[in-house]
Amino acid sequence: MQSYPAITRRQRAHADGLKQKKHRDECGQLLLEGARLIGDALAGAVPIPLAIVASDRVERHRELLEALVKAGTPVCTASPEEMKAMTDTTNSQGILAVADFVPSDAASILDQGSGPSLVTALSYVNDPGNLGTIMRTSDWFGVPGLLLSADSVDPTNPKVVRATMGSFFRVRVGTFDGHAMLLQLARERGYTIAATTSAGGTPVAAAQLPARTLLVFGSEAHGLHPDVLAAADLLLTIPSRGGAESLNLAIAHGIFLSHLVSRP
């Protein structure tokens, strides 16, 4: 069985630092936890400068470790105690990796040529699980771009990345600083603005969207800003048949995409 060197103090400090957004932004790297995420990154040819495996889990992850080494990734081991300190999950799989990432911006995501395009934009998403699920749903429906307000949870947050179940590497996320900027960028690129609202809009099942549409979602607590609703070309609603006050944002996002993406 192949042996790997022990993690150095510098490597451990770097991995620990990637729990902080500032450090992730400065070095253009993030921390991947678990075999599934690391395998997806490897399959997507994402550069992985370092992998860390718990000393008691080497055999369990032998095939993945061999694949990482074959791809040129240095592998080191950490004691179970060191691994526990570096992870933030209750039941760690005992394997981590440092991966490179290139951030996107709103303009580059909207600028996808002159053909048909559906892009979704989210305002003030503060729950990591919700954002991760939304990215995973976008990946399922083949929507490769997602725009996120700057006051939302950081998409490279480890909890977000884990919740995407690997979709992080297939869905580009860009941020926007304000709704006025977002709408201007979209208009300049020929997008129709479709705003989602809890009531008063066209039922989504009956909606006919133009080829290039920006689908905008507000927060669960406050919905969309009145300025966005006023500027939208059309309003879309999921009709309610019960007494619930609102839908979970990730669920609402999935319902909208299920109606709007599957149409020819």
Residue 113 pLDDT greater than 70, yes or no: no
Q: What percent of the chain lies above the pLDDT cut of 90? A: 73
Identify the residue with better confidence: 223 or 52: 52
Q: 264 falls in which pLDDT band (50, 70, 90)?
A: very low
Identify the residue with better confidence: 255 or 262: 255
Q: What local confidence, expressed as pLDDT, does residue 1 receive?
A: 62
Distance (Å) of CA 217 to CA 57, 121, 131, 182: 42, 6, 12, 12
Work out the number of other CB atoms within 10 angstroms of the CB of residue 3: 7
Q: What local confidence, expressed as pLDDT, does residue 144 receive?
A: 81
Q: What local confidence, expressed as pLDDT, does residue 209 receive?
A: 87
| Span 52-60, average pLDDT | 96
Residue 262 pLDDT greater than 90, yes or no: no
| Span 133-159, average pLDDT | 93
The DSSP bridge pattern shows strands 117-122 and 145-149 to be parallel
Residue of 93, 24, 29, 90 lying closest to 57 (CA atoms): 93
Give the sign of the dihedral formed by CA 69, CA 74, CA 77, CA 78: negative
Residue type, 109: I
Q: 116 falls in which pLDDT band (50, 70, 90)?
A: low
Give the C-alpha separation, 196 to 256, whole Å. 9
Distance (Å) of CA 211 to CA 23, 117, 191, 192, 214: 39, 6, 8, 8, 10
Residue of 34, 30, 38, 104 lying closest to 67 (CA atoms): 38
CB-based contact 214:194 (threshold 8 Å): yes
CB-based contact 128:122 (threshold 8 Å): no
pTM attached to this predicted model: 0.89
Residue matched to tokens 């319902």: 255
pLDDT in tens, 195-242: 999 888 999 999 988 889 999 999 877 788 888 999 999 999 999 888
Residue of 135, 177, 8, 19 lying closest to 85 (CA atoms): 19
Q: Which of 13-17, 57-61, 109-113, 136-140 has the lowest mean pLDDT?
A: 109-113
* Residue ranges of domains in the chain, CATH in brackets: 9-100 (3.30.1330.30), 104-260 (3.40.1280.10)
Pull the structure tokens for residue 52: 């860390």
Q: 114 falls in which pLDDT band (50, 70, 90)?
A: low
